[in-house]
Structure 1
Amino acid sequence: MTGCRHGAKNTLVKNYLWLAERLGVEVHPRTTAVAVRPSGSGYRVETVRTGAWSRRGRRVFEADQVVFAAGALGTQRLLHAMQAGGTLPHLSGRVGALTRTNSEAILGAGVKRPAARRHGLDFTEGVAITSSFHPDEHTHIEPVRYGRGSNVMGFLQSALVDGGPRRPLRWLATMVAHPLTYLRLLSVRDWSSRTVIALVMQSVDNSLTTRYQRGRLRTVQGHGAPNPTWIPAGNEAVRLLADEIGGIPGGAVTDAFNVPMTAHILGGAAIGATPAEGVVDAYHRVFGHPGLHVVDGAAVAANLGVNPSLTITAQAERAMSLWPNKGEPDPRPPLGSAYERIAPVAPATPAVPPHAPAALRR
């Protein structure tokens, strides 16, 4: 969740990027892509130095093939901006459609600091996510722990109030009725040691549509049912969790105003059979622009109801396994053609280079 002081957390710099560099890939850190423009038979990728306040650090890369993998919101922003600026005139009008929130609520239960000290409680010990359960057919809940000292999320916690009429007033009444309890929430000291997060996710069919206005993304209700402002099964589970640990159930401060939170924004450049249905085809190629690809969470078309990392990884692995090796014919049907199932392409170079450590070669 927040890293590992012992280096055991599996991250991109330890797996894919490390292996790619061993095979000759050059990585340019702290570089932000701001535009992709057609140029001859390929594309110009315009970049700036990440975090730069001026135009210094601008660079342009030339490429025949470009992969968007900036996360659902990053990829959407870039595609929206280029569509609005006319850079990619043939881009599907479905950019921003089927933006998914994983239909989530981020809840939790915490023990007051004096009680936690008295009973010697420390919920930071152990793996971040060890289990999950399904209170009903559409809802999935993961108990989550944060490492010692990772207390910033505690600033988002507030009283748990069910949805319905006059929710902000009921939230305020709860706070006023127990002023000392909720005033203590202003201090997040030892928060991770005495709090268990409940990440509530659903696989129901609801979505948002993002629109690009004055350089910013804005959302409107999308396909499917309205996104839930609260999940009853989640609130019930958190209250039972609080009873179990002798603590107080809580939700995000935005929940009281019917603004749910999510840790897993997905979609917005989803897979579709045609440009009228999606932004990319089944091989993750951008409709209307040969050589452009979306290979990240933006291509996920549904609320998964689980942490999406493995789904994103599986889609990326599949998409890359169907790419031709350099100089070899492309086995995929032409862009815009009907889907065909094809066999994966065996890589021309070994997945692990000969000069890799012996442990990896084994």
Structure 2
Amino acid sequence: MAGVTSPLSRRRFLGFAALNSAALLGLNTITTAPAAAAKPTGDVLPAVIVGTGYGAAVTALRLGEAGVPTLMLEMGRLWDTPGEDGNVFCSMLRPDGRAMWLKNRTRAPLASLLWMDVINHDTERYPGVLDRVDHDGMSVYLGRGVGGGSLVNGAMAVVPKRSYFEEVLPSVDPDEMYGRYFPRATAALGVNHVDPEWFETCESYQYARLSREHAHRAGLTTTFVPSVYDFDYLRREEAGEVPRSALAGEVIYGNNHGKRSLDKTYLADALGTGNVTIRALHEVRAIRRDARGYALTVHRRDETGEVVERLEIATERLFLGAGSLGSTELLLRARDTGTLPELGPEIGQGWGPNGNVMVGRANHVWDSTGRTQSGMPALGIDAWDDPEHPVFAEIAPVPAGVELWLSLYLAITKNPERGHFSYDPATDTARLHWNAEQGKTSIQQAKALFDKINRANGTTYRTDLFGDTRAFENRFTYHPLGGLVLGAATDDWGRVRGYPGLYVTDGSLIPGSTGVNPFVTITALAERNVERILAEDWTTPVG
């Protein structure tokens, strides 16, 4: 009927209104129910979720739909207020303090061009949207803000091969996942597909078409990749009808238009239930069990990133959605400082970088990649079924605005090596144990694939991109997974063993690898788990 708003669209409208109102008023508490948000911190809340990334956002929406008053705590800020340049986020070509979390210089994955330090820039220290956490042998990129990693990823919404999913998570029913939860997740995330006809003629993906041609010459298969970037918006970007975003170098430091990040999907819907409140710039530092349930020590930051208040929040049920590093660190700290002493040795185990390897190839001068490149990939090389060297390689952009004759890839490899975390009391942090030897399998697999491409096309590797002379870079990851593995640190539904009312709902549940970009898997797994938890755990009190 004309003029009638569906419950879902009305809910999202209310959520958007709450986000926009908070931004306009400079508030760090986002809610559609101000009275509920104003509760004294001494009250015991029915549910608290740490983080606002994929698993956390799913959990918030489903708790909110079930009528459970829920508080989300996010250490980053709400990204909804334009800066002096009129944009919420800065671009990769002109980064400023909005780029990095509390750092004085950007730290992009590419460190150099022709061995010159022209990519990274000094910036003011600010609680920016992208963090890089360095450990011995591995650095991890993380999103900081309401929406977590959805704010800074390349939007590639890939469902893993069913056979590999069954290998990685054998206790999870694949029929349910592929029949119910993956479709539910992709629909709620707003996944869409590039128009194949437009792809063949557009400027935006000339770089991808060239890599496809080179891969096909080597006998390899390519595949279109679903995305949560609005491909219709991208088409209009290229036509000059709307402001440029994916075509303006807006990727790892946030995206101003076109991208369906969680604040535009799950989180907006969750806020629209009227039962969910988000507090930004609130970092959970410690967890303890007491008669009320779980007591959280929380640091509140101001807009400069400085800690200005320490407070305590109590809850009956606690959901950890702070990601592989954040959730794991919280439970390691709790176990080893004695506030949750019954946590077992499985905490901190089963971590992996999803086999990430970045590599660049030097093209012939007659093979142009194009000056206009979409920052959101739409094509991948699928060699995952290779029995010796399984690889799924994203064909990545280099949106520099000039021709570089460079083809760049993020290869996802099948590496069985796993790292682990330990708690360091001197720094009060979790330290990752991962070494270069553990990454060799990934490099061997990626090299086998790209050696084929180079031989078929008479091309070579670029050795000027990573600050030294290496052709393959696997000392960082965009896809941290594991640390609180499903069926080990938790039961098969994310309940932490030994602690009723304590749950994990993020990528730390997945043991190190998905074979593709992992956010759709994290989302679908969270849908599965919270459905069971709501059906079973809310029928009896925590005790």
Helix, strand or coil: the match of 1:322?
helix
Q: Give 1:208 shift.
A: 0.8
Give runs of aligned pairs for residues 30-179 of structure 1, distance below 5 A.
Answer: 30-50=281-301, 55-110=307-362, 115=365, 119=368, 121-122=370-371, 124-125=373-374, 127-134=376-383, 136-137=386-387, 139-146=390-397, 148-149=399-400
1:300-350 CA distance string (max 9 Å, x none): 12522211111111110101111236995259xx99xxxxxxxxxxxxxxx
Aligned length: 283
The residue number in structure 1 matching 2:443 is: 231
1:87-146 CA distance string (max 9 Å, x none): 11111211111111222312122559xx59x95723614741323311623522223333
Q: Is the 8 A contact 1:106 1:262 kept in 2?
A: no
Considering only aligned residues, what root-mean-square deviation do their CA atoms show, in Å? 3.6
5+ residue gaps in structure 1?
Answer: 150-188, 273-277, 336-362
2:494 aligned partner, one-letter code? H
Give runs of aligned pairs for residues 189-200 of structure 1, distance below 5 A.
Answer: 190=402, 194-200=405-411
Q: Is the 8 A contact 2:490 2:497 kept in 1?
A: yes
Residue 264 (structure 1) aligned with residue 479 (structure 2)? yes
The residue number in structure 1 matching 2:417 is: 206
2:380 aligned partner, one-letter code? S
- Identical aligned pairs, as a percentage? 23
Q: Give 1:292 shift.
A: 0.9
The residue number in structure 1 matching 2:539 is: 329
Q: Rate the CA distance shift 1:242–1:83 in 2: closer, same or farther, 3 A.
A: same
2:431 to 196, 218, 222: 218
Q: Is the 8 A contact 2:375 2:399 kept in 1?
A: no
1:224-248 CA distance string (max 9 Å, x none): x944265234124335556759674
So what's the TM-score if we normalise by structure 1?
0.66
Q: Is the 8 A contact 1:139 1:200 kept in 2?
A: no
The residue number in structure 2 matching 1:346 is: none
Q: Rate the CA distance shift 1:42–1:242 in 2: closer, same or farther, 3 A.
A: same
1:320 aligned partner, one-letter code? V
Helix, strand or coil: the match of 2:349?
coil
Q: Is the 8 A contact 2:413 2:446 kept in 1?
A: no
The CA distance in 2 between the partners of 1:255 and 1:38, in whole Å, is 51
Larger radius of gyration: 1
The CA distance in 2 between the partners of 1:26 and 1:103, in whole Å, is 36
1:22 to 245, 252, 272: 272
Q: Give 1:216 shift.
A: 3.5
Q: Is the 8 A contact 2:363 2:460 kept in 1?
A: yes
5+ residue gaps in structure 2?
Answer: 1-153, 155-250
The CA distance in 2 between the partners of 1:311 and 1:86, in whole Å, is 33
Q: Is the 8 A contact 1:141 1:198 kept in 2?
A: no
The CA distance in 1 between the partners of 2:320 and 2:537, in whole Å, is 23
1:73 aligned partner, one-letter code? L
Q: Is the 8 A contact 2:443 2:474 kept in 1?
A: no
Q: Is the 8 A contact 2:354 2:513 kept in 1?
A: yes
Q: Rate the CA distance shift 1:190–1:88 in 2: closer, same or farther, 3 A.
A: farther
Residue 318 (structure 1) aligned with residue 533 (structure 2)? no
The CA distance in 2 between the partners of 1:259 and 1:140, in whole Å, is 14
1:305 aligned partner, one-letter code? G
So what's the TM-score if we normalise by structure 2?
0.46
Q: Rate the CA distance shift 1:32–1:196 in 2: closer, same or farther, 3 A.
A: farther
